[in-house]
């Protein structure tokens, strides 16, 4: 088994993994990767990546859980990775509405669940965590347990009220800037590419994996989001603020977050964890950045250990 700190070639698709395409209701091609894992498998695990991500970034974690006996699947969201683009400018991340991603996930989940045996678990990072939470609220998915890494339950706002950020994004859309990148490079405004790595992980080698994949598969690279994406993201975040929505979610959820996160709001993660009836949290400090599952071994090993104990409790071996 690939233990959390056991080296593997993170820049080659494992021979036992199968890459393919799944087609959404409108025939949009969504890229996926599947490991069959052990037979019989312990259960089935669906990984949902973050904004701008592609599943190659998470091969190490996906392979680890496949080796642990899970049947593992990951997808690229519509408009990301190699699931196509929604604008002529390939560098700009875009979506018409987050509801489109929820519709894709609802349909994918239905087929995936019927095709894959045993317990069904979702593991999601950042924007994927937001979409998983919204899908739980809307009953688009019904997993036995969910793990969320730095979920985008809200975003860093520079100290301003989220409503102010939303109003400004709406204004930019009204001014005809909806399909224009909200900033030039990196993962947030006024942050140069030279600082991007430290914003994501303290592990330089794991960070360089992503850069290597951009060279190996140029189509997976994606730049900053559009103003319309920003506006729709904040609208979706604010929707989940409504009283009673999270309180009604009965699924066991493990929330992993860090106060060192410069992209998503960890205070919101902590607050939402208190609203959820069956949530557990693991909160890191400055030793960990946004990409917890791609962090340096000390933090990443803690994540894996806590995930494993959580799954043993809520998706136990049979």
What is the tens place of the pLDDT at every residue in 16-38? 999 999 999 999 999 999 998 77
- pLDDT tens, position by position, 83-131: 999 999 999 999 999 999 999 999 999 999 999 988 999 999 999 999 9
CA 284 – CA 270 distance, rounded (Å)? 12
In sequence order, what DSSP letters do the residues of 104-165 get, joined into one string? HHHHHHHHHHHHS-SEEEEEEETHHHHHHHHHHHTTS---SEEEEES--SSB--TTS-HHHH
14 CB burial (10 A radius; 0-12, 13-18, 19+): middle
Burial class (CB in 10 A: 0-12, 13-18, 19+), 213: buried
pLDDT value for 2: 52
Confidence tier at 1 by pLDDT (50, 70, 90): very low
Total residues belonging to the chain: 318
What's the pLDDT tens digit per position in 139-186? 999 999 999 999 999 999 989 999 999 999 999 999 999 999 999 887
Which DSSP state fits 93?
Answer: B
Average pLDDT of the chain?
Answer: 95
- For residue 271 the two structure tokens come to 């607050």
CA 109 to chain centre: 16
Query: Into which CATH architecture does domain 17-314 fall?
Result: 3-Layer(aba) Sandwich (3.40)
pLDDT tens digits along 261-316: 999 999 999 999 999 999 999 999 999 999 999 999 999 999 999 999 999 999 99
3-state secondary structure of 256: strand
* CA dihedral for 298, 60, 308, 152, sign (positive or negative): positive
Could you say which DSSP state residue 216 is in? H
Asked whether residue 3 carries a pLDDT value surpassing 70, the answer given is no
Helices (H), 276-314: 297-314
* φ/ψ of residue 229, rounded to 5: -60, -45
The residue ranges of every structural domain in the chain are 17-314
* Distance, CA of 162 to CA of 16 (rounded, Å): 44
Q: Among 255, 256, 251, which residue's Cα sits nearest to residue 278?
A: 251
Q: What's residue 51's pLDDT?
A: 98
Whether the Cβ atoms of residue 17 and residue 71 lie closer than 8 Å to each other: no
Cα separation, 258 vs 159, in Å, equals 18
Residue 36, pLDDT score: 85
Per DSSP bridges, beta strands 70-75 and 119-125 are unpaired
Q: Measured at the alpha carbon of residue 278, what is the angle toward residues 277 and 282, in degrees to the nearest 5?
A: 120
- Calculate Rg over the CA atoms of the chain: 18
Asked whether residue 4 carries a pLDDT value surpassing 60, the answer given is no
């Amino acid at each position: 088994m690939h233990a959390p700190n056991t080296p593997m070639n993170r820049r080659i698709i494992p021979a036992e993994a199968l890459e393919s395409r799944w087609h959404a209701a409108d025939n949009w091609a969504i890229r996926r990767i599947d490991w069959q894992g052990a037979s019989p498998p312990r259960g089935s695990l669906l990984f949902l990546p973050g904004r701008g991500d592609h599943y190659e970034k998470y091969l190490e974690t996906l392979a680890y859980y496949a080796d642990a006996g899970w049947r593992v699947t990951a997808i690229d969201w519509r408009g990301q990775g190699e699931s196509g683009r929604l604008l002529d400018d390939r560098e700009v991340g875009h979506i018409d509405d987050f509801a489109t991603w929820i519709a894709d996930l609802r349909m994918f989940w239905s087929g995936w669940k019927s095709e894959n045996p045993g317990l069904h678990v979702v593991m999601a990072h950042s924007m994927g965590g937001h979409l998983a939470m919204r899908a739980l609220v809307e009953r688009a998915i019904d997993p036995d347990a969910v793990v969320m890494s730095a979920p985008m339950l809200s975003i860093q706002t520079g100290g301003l009220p989220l409503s102010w950020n939303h109003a400004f994004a709406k204004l930019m859309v009204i001014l005809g800037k909806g399909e224009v990148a909200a900033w030039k490079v990196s993962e947030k405004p006024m942050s140069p590419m030279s600082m991007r790595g430290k914003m994501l992980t303290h592990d330089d080698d794991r960070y360089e994996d992503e850069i290597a994949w951009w060279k190996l598969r140029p189509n997976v690279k994606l730049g900053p989001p559009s103003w319309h994406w920003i506006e729709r993201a904040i609208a979706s975040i604010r929707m989940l603020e409504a009283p009673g929505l999270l309180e009604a979610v009965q699924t066991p959820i493990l929330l992993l977050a860090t106060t060192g996160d410069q992209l998503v709001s960890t205070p919101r993660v902590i607050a939402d964890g208190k609203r959820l009836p069956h949530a557990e949290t693991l909160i890191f400090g400055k030793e960990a950045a946004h990409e917890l599952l791609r962090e340096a071994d000390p933090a990443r090993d803690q994540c894996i250990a806590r995930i494993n104990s959580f799954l043993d409790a809520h998706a136990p071996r049979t």
